[in-house]
Amino acid sequence: MTQNPIRFGLIGTGRIGQVHAASIAADPEATLSWVADPFIEGARGVVERFGGTATESPEQLIASGEVDAVLIASPTPTHVDLIEASVNAGLPVLCEKPIDLDIARVDALRPLVQSAGVPVALGFNRRFDRDFKAVRDRVAAGEIGELEQLIIISRDPAAPPADYVRVSGGIFRDMTIHDFDMARYFFPDIVSVSATGTRAFDPGVREHGDFDTAVTTLRTASGGIVTIVNSRHSAIGYDQRIEAFGAKGMLQVANAPTSLVSASTADAVEAKPAFGAFFLERYAQAYASELAEFIKLARGEASTSPTFEDGRAALILADAAQRSATEGVAVDVAL
């Protein structure tokens, strides 16, 4: 490294904000300069552990003159305004997904982002998972021939609290959105969305028009099909698998084991401990790699960071899935 570290302003110090703070502290190319959270105790706690200056005010952080890039990890409704303020201040942005739950607000922001001289990246961390990335790169290199089918199985260990579900925007915008981006990571040419949602175990989500169980099918212009299988709960633990099926073969990513031990008895053989970790542990490496890639972007170097456009596309797919599941029609999309 011959350059100065990127000075980060971190906005939001919840669960995911703390992950980013730790990644910034651990990356020799980055330092944590300012930390903002209206819940000032949160900001102070992060500063104590990882350094920087704490503030209640994101505006003060952006105006400080001491940050080279902004990492937005605050609640979704604040994202659009914070992206706008950062971009107007000439600061590159890494924003957690989704940009917003309302595509109209995203579209209203879009011209500014497109004309800004600074990059805006979206926090689709799974693109940086070592194994998902390896499969995508091997597919791109032609190892399994033309890609024909992609199956994404994505089930959370346990449903979030009802309060969270209520403001989440629904399973497609809140949870499947990661899978929509993963689908686009493999297939850039999605043209149609067909989704089925049910309430298999949590009748309470019905009042928000939401689902706890969903399957989404995406059709591509080139004849590929993506299948996304979601559940808001999973007794076996965090279930995150991918299967890429091509003309010449198949590449699969298995669940991450929590142990190398298997047990065999008269009742069952080769049993392994349950999959345990949720996303913070499962994707720890991915969050760190995401940050490293964003630093390249902020420096003006070649970077594979997903962009604002990727964030917008995933939201369009989520909206289409919600409509498809509600109205029983396949929904065409133009991304």
Q: Which of 75, 77, 223, 300 binds its own copies (CB under 8 A)?
A: 223
| Interacting span for its own copies (CB under 8 A) from 171-179, 181-189, 222-230, 304-312 | 222-230
**Cβ-based nearer residue to its own copies, 2 or 264:** 264
* Structure token pair of residue 247: 């003309």
Q: In this complex, which beta carbon is closest to its own copies, that of residue 106 or of residue 321?
A: 321
Q: 162 vs 235, which CB is nearer to its own copies?
A: 235
Q: Which stretch binds its own copies (CB under 8 A): 48-56, 92-100, 159-167, 271-279?
A: 271-279
Site for its own copies in 284-313 (CB under 8 A): none
CA distance linking residue 31 with residue 182, whole number of Å: 29
Kindly tell me the sign of the dihedral angle through the C-alpha atoms of 67, 70, 72, 77: positive
Of 113-142, binders to its own copies (CB under 8 A) are 130-131, 134-135, 138
28 binds its own copies (CB under 8 A): no
- Helices within 69-210 (DSSP H only): 79-88, 103-115, 130-140, 162-167, 171-174, 176-186
* Residues 145-204 close enough to bind its own copies by CB under 8 A: 145-146, 148-149, 151, 153, 155, 192, 194, 196, 198-201
- Which of the ranges 15-23, 75-83, 265-273, 315-323 carries the binding residues for its own copies, by CB under 8 A? 265-273
CB of 103 or CB of 225, closer to its own copies: 225
Site membership for its own copies, residue 329 (CB under 8 A): yes
**Which listed residue (53, 57, 64, 217) binds its own copies by CB under 8 A?**
217
- Residues 225-254 contacting its own copies, CB under 8 A: 225, 227, 229, 231, 233-237, 245-254
Q: How many residues does the chain have?
A: 335
Amino acid found at 62: I
Q: Which residue, 40 or 256, has its beta carbon nearer to its own copies?
A: 256
Cα-to-chain-centroid distance, residue 196: 22
What distance lies between CA 331 and its chain's CA centroid? 23
Stretch near its own copies under the rule CB under 8 A, chosen from 48-56, 86-94, 99-107, 327-335: 327-335
Task: Please give the Cα distance from 94 to 119 (Å, whole number).
Answer: 9
Residue choice 1, 111, 270, 334 for contact with its own copies (CB under 8 A): 270
Return the bridge partners of 246, or none. 147
- Report the nearest approach of its own copies to the CB of residue 173 (Å): 19
- Give which of 126, 228, 209 is closest to 165, Cα–Cα: 209
221 contacts 191 by C-beta, under 8 angstroms: yes
Alpha carbons 196 and 210: distance in angstroms, whole number: 11
Nearer to its own copies, 238 or 294 (CB): 238
Size of the site for its own copies (CB under 8 A): 72
Cβ neighbors of 40 (< 8 A, separation 6 or more) are 54, 55, 56
Residue 59 near its own copies by CB under 8 A: no
Let me know: does 31 contact 7? Beta carbons within 8 Å.
yes
To its own copies, the closest distance from the beta carbon of 242 in angstroms equals 9
Cα separation, 330 vs 312, in Å, equals: 20
Residues 217 and 193: their CA atoms lie apart, in Å, by: 6
- Closer by beta carbon to its own copies, 124 or else 275: 275
